[in-house]
């Protein structure tokens, strides 16, 4: 829904103030309007019967609201897990590329770097608008082709090829899951029922009457604020890549930073080659003479 995406793109403080203010104005305004039209004495006749009905409405709406909030939160967490699993598969496939022939491995590493960069730079802003990125899709296609081009000459190469295909499937499946979640997980009809239920619940205090108008106004305002704050998580988490409350692309950034050869971990750039050269060539003293190691 376009309105929900606009709400998610607004600053959090503005969304909180706007939602709470709208609920307060609606609920408190109806209470004051009904008291002015019918008077407190006439409304007090409804208190006993309306109280039981109000309790039933409150329970029904609490169940509906809890269901929506839990569903949105679970979808948010599942999407977050899919992003982490995809980034882990990218890092694992990068490490695996050093076990295949160098020409194929370098092609796979280049494709992985391109894919991770395009996911961060192109697909994340696109998912914030509810669309996939064609550039990232092309990068994934090139990665897929580079893995399919692997040549296997023995059982070890075949095992590496099967593992690469498995990791590629993990990347594709988790990418599809996060793309499916970019447009929200709550159907429009459920949002309609949720908002209509909130309007019914917040409008019901207008049938009650108390001798103290200040107390009734404060109780109604408290109820409206609580309902508004309960609805806010569903509003802000339904679009996991839009707005301030969104899933970060940090796992892909970390995967790019960890893309180093397995034998070079713990060493700076070029240190592995330098250490190998040092082991191959005899060390020389400052005067240019060979230095003999002591037994």
**36-64 residue pLDDT tens:** 999 888 888 888 888 888 999 999 999 99
Q: Apex CA 41: angle with CA 39 and CA 43, to 5°?
A: 70
In a domain, 161, yes or no: yes
pLDDT at 294: 41
Domain membership of residue 273 (yes or no) is no
Residue 265 placed within a domain: no
Domain count across the chain: 1
Residue 226 resides in a domain: yes
pLDDT of residue 1: 65
pLDDT class of 144 with cuts at 50, 70, 90:
very high
Question: Which of residues 292 and 110 earns the better pLDDT score?
Answer: 110
* pTM, to two decimals: 0.78
Q: Is residue 284 over pLDDT 60?
A: no
In a domain, 286, yes or no: no
Residue 275 inside a domain? The answer is no
Task: Say if 105 falls within a structural domain.
Answer: yes
Q: What is the mean pLDDT of the chain?
A: 85
Q: In the chain, what percentage of residues exceed pLDDT 70?
A: 87
Residues 123-132 have pLDDT tens digits of 999 998 888 9
pLDDT for residue 122 is more than 50: yes
Residue 262 has a pLDDT of 52
At residue 291, does pLDDT exceed 60? no
Residue 279 lies in a domain: no
Q: What's the mean pLDDT in 127-146?
A: 92
Q: Which of 75-79, 173-177, 205-209, 268-272 has the least mean pLDDT?
A: 268-272
Give the residue numbers spanning the domain of 85: 2-259
């Amino acid at each position: 829904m376009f309105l929900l995406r606009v709400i998610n793109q607004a600053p959090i403080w503005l969304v909180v103030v706007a939602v709470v203010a709208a609920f307060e104005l609606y609920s408190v305004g109806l209470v004051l309007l009904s008291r002015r039209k019918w008077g407190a004495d006439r409304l007090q006749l409804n208190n006993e019967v309306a109280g039981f009905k109000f309790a039933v409405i409150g329970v029904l709406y609490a169940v509906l609201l809890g269901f929506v909030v839990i569903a949105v939160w679970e979808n948010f967490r599942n999407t977050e897990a899919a992003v982490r699993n995809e980034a882990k598969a990218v890092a694992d496939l990068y490490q695996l590329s050093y076990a295949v022939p160098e020409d194929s491995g370098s092609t796979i590493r280049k494709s992985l770097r391109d894919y991770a960069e395009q996911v961060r730079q192109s697909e994340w802003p696109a998912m914030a608008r509810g669309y996939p990125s064609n550039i990232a899709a092309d990068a994934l296609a090139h990665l897929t082709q580079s893995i399919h081009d692997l040549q296997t000459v023995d059982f070890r190469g075949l095992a590496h090829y099967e593992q690469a295909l498995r990791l590629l499937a993990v990347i594709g499946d988790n990418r599809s899951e996060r793309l499916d979640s970019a447009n929200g997980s709550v159907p429009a009809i459920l949002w309609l029922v949720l908002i209509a239920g909130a309007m019914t619940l917040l409008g019901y205090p207008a049938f009650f009457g108390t001798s103290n108008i200040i107390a009734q106004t404060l109780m109604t305002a408290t109820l409206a604020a609580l309902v508004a704050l309960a609805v806010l998580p569903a509003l802000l988490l339904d679009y996991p890549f839009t707005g301030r409350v969104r899933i970060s692309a940090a796992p892909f950034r970390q995967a790019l930073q960890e893309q180093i050869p397995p034998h070079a971990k713990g060493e700076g750039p070029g240190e592995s080659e330098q250490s190998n050269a040092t082991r191959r060539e005899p060390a020389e003293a400052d005067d240019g003479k060979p230095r003999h190691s002591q037994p």
